[in-house]
Amino acid sequence: MQVPVACIATLLISCCVVLSTKRQAAAQIRPDVDPGIAALVADVSPARLQRDVARLASFGTRHSLSDPSSATRGIGAAREWIFRELQQSSPKLQVSFDSHRVAPQGRIPREVELLNVMAVLPGKSARRIYVTAHYDTVSVGPAGQIGLNTAPAGQPRASSAEPNYEIDAPGANDNGSGTALTLELARVLANSERQFDATIVFMLWAGEEQGLVGSRAHAQRLGADGVPVTAVFNSDIVGGSRGGNGVIDAESVRVYSEGPEDSMSRSLARHVLRSAALYAPEQRVRLIARHDRFGRGSDHSSFNQHGYPAVVFRESNENFARQHAPADTPDGVDYEYLARNTRVNAAAVASLALAPPAPEVVDERGVNRLGRQPSGYDAHLQWNRAPGAVAYRVYWREAWGNDWQQHRLIGDVDRLVISGLSIDDFVFGVAAVGPGGHESLVSAYVSPLRREPEVKLVP
C-alpha cells in the first residue's frame, strides 16, 4: 500500500510519542522490573526440586519400554506420580495424559503406547507457551543389559538381541532435573495471582530416548490442527554444576537456538537473555547459535521442525560418565544450581506469557512490509497490530551484528519511518508491548533468499 508523503511526514514527527486513545495506557508503562515476576522467581524452592529428583530416581528406571503396570517401578509408576503431582499443584491446572499409539520403528521394536503428561494453565488467549522436559530414561551397559543401542559421547556402542529395559536407569540429571524444573514452574506459575495472556502448557515427554517420539507425535498433531504456539522452553540435563573434567560451573547455563540468525527461535533466546538479566542476574545465560549440542538433540527440535519457536536449556559443563548410566543418581545434582536455572526459566516464561503476541511483519503473501519511502534512503516499517498491545518497540542493528543495538518505544501505531537509515545496511524488528510493559518476541524483517531461474543454454 502506498502511503501519501504528507502522512509519512506526520509519522516522522508523531511515531516517537504515544498515539490514539491508548495514550495514557502506554505512557504509564511500568519500569522493566515487574514485582510480580520477581516474586514468582523468588518462590522457586531448591528443597522441592531435590525432593522431586529423588522421587523420580526412586522408580529405578523410567525407560519408555519398561513395565507400565508396576505401582512402584518403571515408566508406569513414574508417570502416575507426575500426573498426581501436577493435579495437586493447583486446581487451575487441567491435567491429562497425551496418548500416542506408536508402531514399531527406529529404536522402538514393538508397538507401544507412549503417554506424555500434560498440564494446561488457561490464559486469556488460546495461543500457547510450552514448558517441557522428557521424563523417560535409559541405561547403556554391558551386552545383554541395555535398553538402547547408543552410548554416551566417546564410548563404544553395545548391542543385544534381547535388550533389558528393566535395568537401573535412575536418570536423576538426565532428565530428572528438567522434569523437576517443569513441575516446579507448574507450581509457581499456577499458584500466582496473575492471569497470563498466553495459555501455558507444562509437558513431560515420553520416548525422548527413542528418538524424540513423544514430542514429535505431539508437535505433528499441533501442526495438523493449526494450534498457535508462541514459544517452547525445553530443559534437558540442567542440574549438574561439576563436569566430568572436574570443572565446576554453577553460575551459567547454555541456551541453544535454531537458526538462521533472525529466526523466531533466536528471538526467543534473546528474550531469555534479557529477562534473566532483569530477574535472575546471578545466573549468566550463554546463548549458543546451534540447534543443540554437536550431533545431539532433544524435544525442542520436534517443534522447530514444525515452525514453532523453541530453545533448549543445558547445564554448562556436563559429566558424560553419569549420562545414560546407573551412575546418574541424585548425588550428582546440584540443587542450588538447578534452582538458579529454574528461576531463569520462570522469569522468561512469565514475562513472555504476560506480553501480547508478536506482531506480523509480512503481508498475506509472506512479503516483508519494509520499504525505502519516502526519500528512497529511509527505513519505512509496517506491521499488523497485535491484540492487547498498547505500544510497540522497534529494534535495529548493523547487518553483520548478532544482537539488537538500538531500539525505540513508540505508540499504538502500525508503521514507522526512520529517516536516513538504509534498509540495506541494517536489520530491523518490532515487538508488541502490553499495558504492563511486557514485550513480545521481536519479529524481524528477514531478507528472503533470491532464487533466480536456471540459465537456458544452447545444446
Query: How many domains, in total, are found in the chain?
Result: 2
The H or E element that residue 118 is part of is: strand 112-121
Last residue of a domain, one of 338, 353, 368: 353
364 and 344 both lie in a single domain: no
pLDDT number for residue 93: 98
Do 217 and 349 lie in one domain? The reply is yes
Identify whether the C-beta of residue 284 lies closer than 8 Å to the C-beta of residue 340.
Answer: no
- State residue 149's pLDDT score: 41
* Alpha-carbon gap, residue 426 to 396, rounded angstroms: 6
Domain-terminating residue out of 323, 353, 383: 353
Peptide bond into 191 cis (omega under 30): no
pLDDT for 162 equals: 60
- Domain with residue 21: its CATH number is 2.60.40.10
Q: Which of 396, 402, 405 is nearest to 443 (CA)?
A: 396
Helices (H), 111-175: none
| Torsions phi, psi for 398 (to 5 deg) | -65, 145
Quick one: cell of 159?
548391542
Q: Is residue 452 part of a domain?
A: no
Residue 286 lies in a domain: yes
DSSP state letter for 315: E
**Same domain assignment for residues 173 and 101:** yes
DSSP 459: -
Domain presence at residue 295: yes
Q: What confidence score (pLDDT) does residue 387 get? A: 97
User: How confident is the model at residue 26, as a pLDDT?
Assistant: 40
Q: Which helix (H) or strand (E) holds 217?
A: helix 213-225
Q: Can you give the pLDDT at residue 450?
A: 79
Average pLDDT score, the chain: 90
Same domain, yes or no: 284 and 412: no
Domain residue limits at 338? 35-353
Same domain, 318 and 192: yes
In a domain, 458, yes or no: no
Is 389 domain-assigned? yes
Model confidence pLDDT, tens digit, residues 46-103:
999 999 999 999 999 999 999 999 999 999 999 999 999 999 999 999 999 999 999 9
What is the CA angle 69-89-313, rounded to 5? 85
Q: For the chain, which residues score pLDDT lower than 50?
A: 1-30, 143-160
Write the CATH number for 164.
3.40.630.10
- Note whether 18 and 48 are same-domain residues: no
Q: Do 257 and 363 fall within a single domain?
A: no
In tens, the pLDDT along 158-202 reads: 444 568 899 999 999 999 999 999 999 999 999 999 999 999 999
pLDDT (tens digit, 9 = 90+) per residue, 113-122? 999 999 999 9
Residues 23 and 87 in one domain: no
User: What does the pLDDT read at residue 141?
Assistant: 65
What phi and psi, each to the nearest 5 degrees, are found at residue 116? Answer: -80, 145
Asked whether residue 139 is assigned to any structural domain, the reply reads yes
The reply to whether 384 and 342 lie within a common domain is: no
| Domain stop point among 333, 353, 373 | 353
Do 225 and 248 belong to one domain? yes
Residue 449 lies in a domain: no
Does residue 378 share a domain with residue 343? no
Q: Please report where in the chains the cell 509480512 appears, as a residue.
A: 362
Residue 454 located in a structural domain: no
Is there a single domain that holds both residue 68 and residue 140? yes
Sign of CA dihedral 358, 364, 368, 374: negative
